[in-house]
A and B are shown apart, each in its own frame.
Chain A
C-alpha cells in the first residue's frame, strides 16, 4: 500500500528518541507508507477498507477502528470477537521502518450484510488486564497512596477501581503503551520534543479552554480522627486519729492508749473507697501495734489491721472519645488571586473501635502518674501510623485534583504521522510554529491512516498546565495533632476528720461528717448516744467535659504549584 508521496524522498524525523535530549521536529517532505495489520495471527492488511483510526487517551484504553471487506463467501463474524490485533505503520524507504501503533483485542465487530464490510473496534482492554493483577502488582504499577479509611477495604472489590483510587493520589495517568502493556505516564515530564515552524497542518490548530467551574483552585479537606483516651483521676486521702497528737510513731500510740477509742481498719477504708465507685490505688497504713508484752503495761493485740492513721490514693478510671479535627486547605495561590475561589470539598473520617474501653474502665492498678487533681492519660487507642497513611492519601488526592483541574486547557493540532511517530504520553512537548507557542504534555493522540487517500495524520491534544513559574509547592505533611483542653475540675482536700462519742463532752453524732466515727473505750456519757463505728469519704466529681466526646481542631494550609506551561496564541 503506497502513500501519495514519492518514495524514499524523506529524512525521517522523530522515529527514535535517544536519551533525554530534546528532539526537534522540523517541517519535512513527503513520505510513503503502508500498514501491516494482523488479526488473530492472520494478515488482514489486504482486505482493509477505508481508514484505520487509532485513538489513544492519556487515561485508559486505546481504541482502533477500521473496516475489513470480507468478500462474498460465508463469514463467521462471531469468531472474530476477542481476536488479537496488531497494527504496524511502515514508512517505506531503504530500509523500511516499521513502527508498532497498536496492540489490542477486537471487542465489538459489526457486520454489514449488504456491503460485506465488518466494522471492527479493538481496544487494549486495560480494565480487564488490571482486574487480573494481584494487588501487590497493581501497587508496583501505579504507585501513589492508598488507605482503607479514605477508600474502602479491598476485599471483594474491583481491582480496576483500586488502581483508579491509587492513581487519584498522584499526578500521573494510567494508560496502555503501543505494545499493549499497561503503564503510568507522568503529568510533569521533562521536555522531549520540540515542534518547529511549519510542522502543523495549516489551520489545524485549535484551543479549548476549560470552563472555570472545572478548575478548582481550593481543595478543602476535613479529616477527623476519633479514638479513645484512657483516663484516670487520683485523689489523695489522709486520716490520723486525733488522740495520737499528730504522732505517727509509738509516741502517738501511747498517747492514744491513754484514752483509747474504737479504731477503723484497713477493710473499712477499702470498702468505703470502693463503695463510692473508686478503688484503692496505694496506701500507707499506720497500724495499731501487735503484741508488746515487754511494756510496763503489757500490750496484746491480734488485730493489726486496725489503724491509727492512713494516707492513701483513691483512683477512678474512665475512657473518653476524642476527635482530632484537621481542617486542611490546599490552594493554588495565583489562581485564587486571579479568578477567586473555586472550591472542591472532601471529607475523610477515621473511627476506632470502642469495645476495648470497658476493659480500661473496669481495670484497677497502680499504673499512671499520680498528679494533683487533674485527670491523667494512660495512653490512647490512637494509631499514628494509620492516621499518617490516611492523611497522606487524602492530601495527595487533593493535590492531584487541583493539578488535574489546572491542566484542563487543551491545544490541538495535526501533524504528518511519519514525522512524529515516537510522540507519546508522558513526554514534554513544545510547539512554536508561528501560529502558536505552547508547552504541555499530550492528553490524547489520534492517528488516522487513510488507505484510500494515503493520508496519515497525527492529531496531538496537549494538556497545558496553568501554573505560575516559581510558585511554592508545600510538602504535604500533616501538622502536629491538636491539644485537648480539660476544664478545671473540683479540687478537694483529702484530709478526713474524726468524731468520737460516749463521753459526756462528746458532741452529737453528725451523719454528714466524713472521716471516722467511733466511741471512746471508757465513756461517761449517755450510752444511748453511742456513735456508730463507721468510715466515710466523699469522692470528687468527674466533670462531663472530661468524659463526653471531646474535639480539638487543627487548621493547615498548603500551597500547591501546578506545572507552569506556556500558552501564547
Chain B
C-alpha cells in the first residue's frame, strides 16, 4: 500500500503530464499554422535570383614574334664539311665500274687503254661512296 503522499504525488505527475500534453498539442497547431503561413508567403514573394555573369576568361596574351632555326652542318650528298665517310673504302663489285668511251690510246695507236669514269666504293659503315673521274666524253656502262 502506498502512502497518501505517494498517491497525491502520482496524481500530480499525471496532471502535469496531461496539461503539458494539451500545451504541446496547441503549440503544434500554432506551429502548423505558422509553417503554412511561411509557405504561402514564400510562394507569393518572387524569388530573388543573382544576375548571371560570364565567368572571367583568363587573358591569353600575345604570341611573341619568334625565331625558327634549323642547323644542319652536313649537307647530305655533299661529302663536304663534316664528312661522314669512314675509312677504309672498299670496292665491293668490280663490275660496277664505269669507263669513258674514249680511252687513252697508246703512243703507237694500236691500243686504247680503258679510262675509268666512276668508281663505286663502300666505306667502313657500309655507306656507298661514288667517285667520278673527269674525261673527255660521257661515261658508258
Contacts and interface: CB of A to CB of B under 8 A. Distances in A.
Contacts of A267: 70, 72
Interface string B36-69: 0000000000000001111101011111111111
A535 B51 contact: no
B130 interface: yes
A548 B17 CA distance: 74
Contact of A534 (B70, B76, B130, B138): B70
A541 B75 contact: no
A301 interface: yes
B77 interface: yes
A549 interface: yes
B44 to A, nearest CB: 11
Interface residues of A, number: 61
Contacts of A514: 67
B63 A542 contact: yes
A303 interface: yes
Nearest to A537: B68
A490 B65 contact: yes
Nearest to A544: B62
A544 B73 contact: no
Contact of A541 (B59, B65, B72, B78): B65
Nearest to A150: B52
Contacts of B8: none
B63 A533 contact: no
A546 B64 CA distance: 12
Contacts of B59: 544, 548-549
A12 interface: no
Given A274-B68, A323-B54, A347-B52, A533 B73 contact: yes
Contacts of B62: 541-544, 546-547
Q: Which of A305, A533, A537, A540: most chain B CB closer than 10 A?
A: A533
Contact residues of B: prevailing secondary structure: loop
Contacts of A351: 54-55
B57 A321 contact: yes
Contacts of A318: 60, 63
B75 A306 contact: yes
B65 A533 contact: no
Contacts of B63: 277, 316, 318, 541-542, 547
A300 B132 contact: yes
Interface string A264-302: 110111111111111000000000000001100010111
Contact of A538 (B53, B65, B77): B65
A480 to B, nearest CB: 21
Contacts of A532: 71, 73
B103 interface: no
- Tell which of B68, B80, B138 has the most Cβ of chain A within 10 Å: B68
A275 B69 contact: yes
B42 to A, nearest CB: 13
Using C-beta atoms within 8 Å of the partner chain, give the interface range for chain B: 20 to 34
A306 B138 CA distance: 25
B77 A303 contact: yes
A263 B51 CA distance: 64
Given A347-B52, A542-B63, A544-B59, A533 B138 contact: no
A533 B72 contact: yes
Contacts of A549: 57, 59
A378 interface: no
Interface string B78-122: 101100000000000000000000000000000000000000000
Nearest to B69: A536
Interface string A306-339: 1000000000101011010000000000000000
A306 B55 CA distance: 52
B53 A349 contact: yes
A467 B65 CA distance: 62
Given A532-B73, A534-B72, A548-B59, A276 B139 contact: no
A528 to B, nearest CB: 13
Interface in A15-74: none
A348 interface: yes
Given A265-B76, A548-B59, A540 B71 contact: no
9 contacts: A224-B54, A267-B70, A274-B68, A277-B63, A318-B60, A323-B54, A533-B73, A539-B68, A546-B62
The 10 lowest CB-CB distance pairs between A and B, nearest first, are: A276-B68, A542-B63, A271-B70, A268-B70, A303-B77, A544-B62, A276-B66, A547-B60, A272-B68, A272-B70
Interface of B: 51-55, 57, 59-78, 80-81, 130, 132, 138-139
